[in-house]
Chain A
C-alpha cells in the first residue's frame, strides 16, 4: 500500500492554531474555546489526537502536584529552584504551582481518576528530596479518552496526520500562520492564523538509544524536535538547551522503571550489591550524576530493586506498570525471564534529548506561555518551565489557550507572504522530486550516532566542535535525501529538524563554559560550577544574519528567597554524603 500522493495545495484560516494534540495542546484548544466560543480553533496532530504524544497510553501519576494540606506553591518553587541549580524564572514556576490544584480539579471533574485515601483526600506520596508532590493515577490509562471527549464537547476542529514544518511571519514580525504537509497524501497546507500555540513535545529523537534501534527512544518518537526547530526558524529564543534530558531507564526497553510508582511502595534504585546509593529517586541532573558514577564503577550496573517486597505489593506494582504509560514493559520482562519477585531490573541511561518537562531545555516562555515572538505561544515538554511534567503541560496549555484567545480578540488576519510559502514548498517537496538519493533512515541513524559520539555527557569541548562539523556535513546530506512516498517524506523532514536540534545542543553546550545540573551539563574541561560568570540563563536564537547565536540572560529576581543551606540540598544525594 501507501496512500496515493496527490500533492494538492490547501489553504485555510483559523483564529488560533494549536500544533500538537498530546497533553498541553488539547488543553490549550479547549481553554481557548471556553474563553471565547466564537473563535475558530484548529488542533493539528502529526499522529492522531486520540492516541498521540507522551501520554498516548495514559500516565500512572502526577509527579508535581501541589495540593493544599500536602505542600505549598512556595515550597514547590523552592524545591524546583534548588533541583535546577538556581537557574529558573521563579515567576513561571510559581505561576504553575499556584494553578496546579485548579488543573487537578478540572481533570478530576472531566473524569480522570486520582488515588484518594479513605477520607476522600488525594493520596499524595513523597518522592522528591524535600516535599511531597506525587499523586498516583492507577487508572490513568484513560486520560486521552477523557481529553478527546472534551475536545469534541468544546467543538475544537481537529486535523490529524499533518506534519507542520515552518511558521509564517508577517511584516511586523508576528506569527501569522503555519505550513506543513499531510504524511499520507503529501498535500501542502497553508493555514493562516492570528496566533499559534506550539505544543509539540520533547526533542526525543536527538540521541540514538544504546540499542541502536532508531525508534526505541524514551520519548514517543513522533516528537522529533519539530517544535524546537519551528520556533528557532521563527526567531524565538530557546533557553538553557545545554540542560539536556537524560533519564534512568530499563536497559534496552528504554522506558521508565518507574521509581515514582515503586518508590512510595518500597522499591529503590540499587547497585549490583543491592545497596541503595542515592537518597532520593526524583529525576534531577544531580541524581543522574550519581547514577552515571555508579553505573561506570565496580558497583555497576544499576538496578531497580523490588525483590524484597511482599507479593501483594509486587502484584500492585505490576498492575500499574504493565497497564499505564509503557504497558509493553510486562512483555519485555517476561521475554527475558525477569520477575520483580526474584530479580532486580537492570537499568541504564537514556539517550540525550531536549525536554523542559523533565529538565529545563525548551523554547523560552514567560508565566503567560508567551514566547519571545509576537503571536506565538508554547506549552508542555517543549516550553522552558523546568520540571513541568504532565501537570505542567496541562497548566501551561491552559495559560496558552486563555492568553492566545485574549490576544486574537479584535485582531485581523495579516497577509501571507507568498515568497515564504514558495520557499518552504520547494524545501518540503525536494526529497520527493529527487530521482535518486539517500534513505532518510540512514541519514537519521548517522546523525544521531554523531549526537551520541560528540554530545553525550560527560561533554568534551573538542568533541563538540567536531560534532558541529559533522552536523554541518549532514546539512549537505539533507540535499541528497530521496523520499519514495509521503511517509518517507515525513521522516526526511524530521531529519532536518533533528539536525537543527543537534546543532543547537552543541552550540548551547559549548557556550556555557562551566559544569551545572549534574550529568546534564558536565563539561570535563570546565568541571566546576562557576556562579560568578554563569549564574544566568543561556539563550539561543537565530540572529538577524540567520546565524545561531547564544547569549546570557540574567536570572529574574527570586520571588521566593532561599538560604544558602537550602540551595545545597540536591548536592548531597549520595547516601552518606552528610557523614562524609
Chain B
C-alpha cells in the first residue's frame, strides 16, 4: 500500500462539501523587471522630495515607507522620462522596458 491509498481522490457522497468553499480563488503575481530604478544614496525622498512621484503620468512611482526612498510600484511604464529628467539629484534611471528593448 502506498500513502496515496489513504487519500480519497474524490469525496464520498457523505463527505460532499460546499464546492464554493472547496475551490478558493487564488492569485499568482507576475514577476516583472522594473524599468525605473532609483539610486537610494542619491534619492532625497526622506527629506520630503516627491518630484518623481508627482510627475509620472501613469502614477507608477511611490515612496517606500520603510526606506523613505522612491521606487517603482507598478510595471506600466511609458519610458517617457519626466521622472529621470526632473529628479533634482539624478537618482532616477529609466530603462526601456525589457519587452521593447
Residues of A within 8 A of B25 (CB): 436-437
Q: In the assembly, what is the distance between CA of A52 and CA of B56, in Å?
A: 8
Q: Does A71 contact B (CB under 8 A)?
A: no
Residue in A1, A217, A327, A487 whose Cβ sees the most chain B Cβ within 10 Å: A1
Q: Does A512 contact B (CB under 8 A)?
A: no
Which residues in window 34-82 of B have CB below 8 A to A?
54-59, 62-65, 73-74, 76-82
Chain B's closest residue to A327 (CB) is B81
Given contacts A254-B100, A332-B96, contact A1 B64 (CB under 8 A): yes
> What is the CB-to-nearest-CB distance from B80 to chain A, in angstroms, rounded to a whole number?
6
Which residues in window 480-534 of A have CB below 8 A to B?
487, 490-491
Residue in A50, A51, A217, A253 whose Cβ sees the most chain B Cβ within 10 Å: A51
Given contacts A328-B94, A328-B96, contact A215 B101 (CB under 8 A): no
The answer to whether A335 and B55 have CB atoms under 8 Å apart is no
Q: Does A184 contact B (CB under 8 A)?
A: yes
Selected contact of A335 from candidates B57, B81, B82, B101, CB within 8 Å:
B101
Q: Does A48 contact B (CB under 8 A)?
A: yes
- Interface SS of B by simple majority: loop
Residues of A within 8 A of B58 (CB): 47, 215, 221-222
The answer to whether A48 and B80 have CB atoms under 8 Å apart is no
The answer to whether B57 and A1 have CB atoms under 8 Å apart is no
Q: In the assembly, what is the distance between CA of A212 and CA of B99, in Å?
A: 8
Given contacts A47-B56, A51-B86, A161-B59, contact A56 B80 (CB under 8 A): yes
Q: In the assembly, what is the distance between CA of A161 and CA of B55, in Å?
A: 11
Selected contact of A57 from candidates B82, B97, B101, CB within 8 Å:
B82
Which residues in window 1-49 of B have CB below 8 A to A?
25, 27
Q: In the assembly, what is the distance between CA of A327 and CA of B83, in Å?
A: 12
Q: Does A414 contact B (CB under 8 A)?
A: no
> What is the CB-to-nearest-CB distance from B40 to chain A, in angstroms, rounded to a whole number?
15
Q: In the assembly, what is the distance between CA of A139 and CA of B77, in Å?
A: 25
Which residues in window 246-265 of A have CB below 8 A to B?
252-254
Residues of A within 8 A of B (CB): 1-3, 47-48, 50-53, 56-57, 160-161, 183-184, 211-217, 220-222, 252-254, 326-328, 331-332, 335-336, 436-437, 439, 487, 490-491
